[in-house]
Amino acid sequence: MAQGKKYKDATNRYDREHLHSPTEAIDLVKRLASAKFDESVDVSMVLGVDPRKADQIVRGTVALPAGTGKTVRIAVFATGEAATAAEEAGADFVGGEELVAEVEGGMLDFDLTISTPELMPQVGKLGRVLGPRGLMPNPKTGTVTPDPAKAVAEFKGGTVEYRTDRYGNVHVSVGKASFEPEGLKQNFATLMEEINRVKPASAKGRYVKKLTISSTMGPGVKIDPTRLDEIEI
C-alpha cells in the first residue's frame, strides 16, 4: 500500500528513539507529513496519575491561540432562547426532547455535545450512547452551561477538550500540518501549560512521563518532557 510505503520512508528519515525538544519535534512532524490531505497534528502523552482515583482524573478544556483548523460539529441540547442563541452561534444540531430521541435512535453526526443544566436529566438517559464515545456533556469541560451559545463559539473557535483515559493517556489535536510552525508551537505550549496547571496535588513522581507528537498518517516523534521550556516561538 502507498500509505504503508510513505510511513516506512518517513520512519527512515529520523531517529525514532531520540528525545527531541518541542521545536525540533514540531519541525520534524511538518516535514514528515506527506499525505495528500491536510493532516492533523496530534499530541499524545502518558501522565503519572491513577485515573481510578477521582482526585487524579485530569480533564478540562483549553483555548488554542492558533485554532485547530478543524470543523467541529456540535449538537446542543437546549430549548427556548438558549436554543435560538446556540443556532445563531453556529451549532449544527439544536433541540430538546426531539434531539434526545434522534440521538437515542442512532444519530451521531457530531463531534461534541453541549447541554443546558435543565436538559441534563433527559440527556443523562443517553449515557450508554454518548459515554463510551466521550461525548457526554460535563460541567468540568464547560459543556453543561446555561449559555450554550458562548460555548459553541469557543469550541468552534479553537477550544479543545482534554481528558485522561483509563490508562492515564491524553490525546489532543493541536492543529494541522499546513499551519505555520509558530502556530503549532503556540498551541503546543498552551496545551502543556494547561496540563501542568491542572496537575493533581495527589499525583506523585514524574507527571508527564512520555510525550509524542505526530501527524495523522505520520510516525510519532518523541519529545523530552524535561525540555518543555525550550520551545522557540
Whether 193 and 210 share a structural domain: yes
Closest by CA to 190, choosing from 63, 67, 68, 69, is: 63
Residue 1: which residues within 8 A CB-CB, separation 6 or more?
A: none
* Residue given cell 449559555 in the structure block: 147
- How large a percentage of the chain has pLDDT more than 90? 88
Q: At 14, is the pLDDT very low, low, confident or very high (cuts 50, 70, 90)? A: confident
- In this model, does residue 89 exceed pLDDT 80? yes
Q: How confident is the model at residue 2 (pLDDT cuts 50, 70, 90)?
A: very low
* CATH number (domain holding residue 101): 3.40.50.790
User: How far apart are alpha carbons 200 and 196 in whole angstroms?
Assistant: 9
Pick the last residue of a domain from 115, 130, 157: 157
pLDDT score for 16: 85
| Percentages of the chain per state (helix, strand, coil), in multiples of 5 | 40, 20, 40
Assess whether 130 and 147 both reside in one domain: yes
Q: What is the CATH number of the domain that holds 212?
A: 3.30.190.20
Residue where one domain finishes, among candidates 157, 175, 191 = 157
DSSP per-residue letters across 167-183 = TSEEEEEEEETTS-HHH
| Contact present, 116 and 97 (Cβ < 8 Å) | no
Domain holding 219, by residue range, is: 15-68+159-230
> What's the structural domain count of the chain?
2
Helix/strand/coil for 166 = coil
Are 181 and 210 part of one and the same domain?
yes
Structural domain contains residue 179: yes
- Following DSSP, what letter does each residue of 54-110 receive, concatenated? GGG--EEEEE-TT--S----EEEE--HHHHHHHHHHT-SEEESHHHHHHHHTT----
Q: Which residue has the higher pLDDT, 2 or 98?
A: 98
- Residue 15 has a pLDDT of 81
Prediction pTM value: 0.83
> What are the tens digits of pLDDT across the range 51-63?
999 999 999 999 9
Within this chain, do residues 64 and 163 fall inside the same structural domain, yes or no?
A: yes
- Mean pLDDT, rounded, for 75-96: 97
- In this structure, the answer to whether residues 129 and 25 fall within a common structural domain is no
Summarize pLDDT for 170-215 with one digit per residue, the tens.
999 999 999 999 999 999 999 999 999 999 999 999 999 999 999 9
pLDDT of 11 > 80? The answer is: no
Decide if 59 contacts 172 (C-beta within 8 A): no
Give the lowest-confidence range in 2-6, 16-20, 85-89: 2-6
Q: Of 140, 157, 174, at which residue does a domain stop?
A: 157
